Amino acid sequence: MLIFVCYALFLSIPKLLLSLLQLGFLKKESAKEPYILEKAKFIQAAHYASLRERLSIISTLLDLVLVGFWLLFGFSALERTLDFAPLMESVVFVLCFLVVQFVVQLPLEAYQTLVLDKAFGFAKGGVKLFVVDTLKSFVLLLVVGGILIFVLSWIILNVQNWELYAFILGAVLIVSLNVLYPTIIAPLFNKFSPLEDAELKQRINALLMRVGFKSEGVFVMDASKRDGRLNAYFAGLGRAKRVILFDTLLDKISHESLLAVLGHELGHFKHYDIYKMMALILGFFAALVFFVANMPEMLFASANLEMSPQASIIFLLIISAPFGFYFMLVVNFLSCKNEFNADKFGASLTTKEALANALLVLVKENNSFPLAHPLYMCFYYSHPPLMARLIALDCGYLGKNATQGF
């Protein structure tokens, strides 16, 4: 009961309050004179944001009910039902927990992709693609999740000071995931083909050379099959890095602005932002594992769990949500700082105007509302809102837009 009350008090209720704050903010803001976006787009973006927020309220409530169910009855019932050897039991136990979580949140995800995003013109895929994506994720969860739970349970059962080895396992995993993601995981969901436009490719390569960025090449991702939103990013670490451009982006912005976006990404590379973030996440993970490994027995009892490998893993999973919620305050604060610096860097490689134009197109096409409640931003925004970024770039767009409703 104690864990459930803490979970509600420190995670679910603050999340609900933030959602309500944000809904109020959107309602108030959308009644004002529009800025950055033209009026129809401005109202539509606010409408989309508030529908998403309502969905997230339902998701928070659902999560609370589910965690309550597990802590108050589910775990002890499952413990009584399962009867395997310890390692096997641990794997089945934790997978049951994860699968139920996956299935319960599925209708919300389906609603968001197939109804909400479709209505706003983002989701392009339809039911078939959604089902295929879901099945792939589900198989990944069973296979990768199963293997990880197995290894972690073995460590907990057989090694003293298991937190140290669990941490090493996590660290290896986070690093290899970053290396493997662009070449193995992402291609499961999308197709990546080398950029064909020779002139653009040459300009991109020249930009990469200027910064000393070595990569496996420039790839175009068929993002349009799933979603109309635009993006570009660098994935991977070391030599396995790839420049990924969404095909949707190529259609919508000028080459000049595209180079500015890449310049921004190169800023992250130049400032070692990925490594800094990874170090921060590893620090958080170390604290989490240490906490669970040294938790008093009465906390296990309050979740109706006996001390066992599966109980420790379950605690890691449940506790990471509230801990992560507050940890994100730190991550977002630093990340926003990094974004401003990357903007500065991108603008210095190209021009302020090219980057500002790219940002404007991104916001318009992605239908994102240009502002949010300040407290809400602290918890959820890893990127500063567009308004703040344009002000920081300082190239006169705001004065003009304020009167013209750009």
Site for Zn ion in 193-232 (CB under 5 A): none
Give me the least distance between CB of 193 and Zn ion, in Å please: 24
- Closest to Zn ion by CB, 11 or 358: 358
Contact criterion met (CB below 8 Å) for 113 and 130:
yes
What H or E segment, with its residue span, contains residue 341?
helix 309-349
- Closest to Zn ion by CB, 16 or 378: 378
Classify burial at 181, counting beta carbons within 10 Å of its beta carbon; exposed 0-12, middle 13-18, buried 19 or more.
Answer: middle
Site for Zn ion in 251-310 (CB under 5 A): none
Contact criterion met (CB below 8 Å) for 230 and 171:
no
- Nearest Cα neighbor of 94 from 295, 299, 306, 317 is 317
Site for Zn ion in 342-371 (CB under 5 A): 342
Give me the least distance between CB of 398 and Zn ion, in Å please: 20
Give me the least distance between CB of 220 and Zn ion, in Å please: 20
Give me the least distance between CB of 91 and Zn ion, in Å please: 38
- Closest to Zn ion by CB, 123 or 362: 362
44 contacts: CB under 8 Å, gap ≥ 6 = 120, 367
- Closest to Zn ion by CB, 345 or 369: 345
x/- map, 134-153, Zn ion, by CB under 5 A:
--------------------
Q: At what angle do helices 352-365 and 255-270 cross, to 10 degrees?
A: 100
Give me the least distance between CB of 343 and Zn ion, in Å please: 8
Give me the least distance between CB of 25 and Zn ion, in Å please: 24
x/- map, 306-345, Zn ion, by CB under 5 A:
---------------------------------x--x---
Contact criterion met (CB below 8 Å) for 224 and 247:
yes
- Nearest Cα neighbor of 280 from 339, 333, 341, 234 is 333
Tell me, by CB under 5 A, how many residues bind Zn ion: 2
**What is the rounded CA–CA span in Å between residue 102 and residue 106?**
6
- Closest to Zn ion by CB, 192 or 233: 233
- Closest to Zn ion by CB, 277 or 293: 277
Alpha carbon dihedral 110, 244, 345, 390, in 10-degree steps, equals -40
Contacts to Zn ion by CB under 5 A? 339, 342
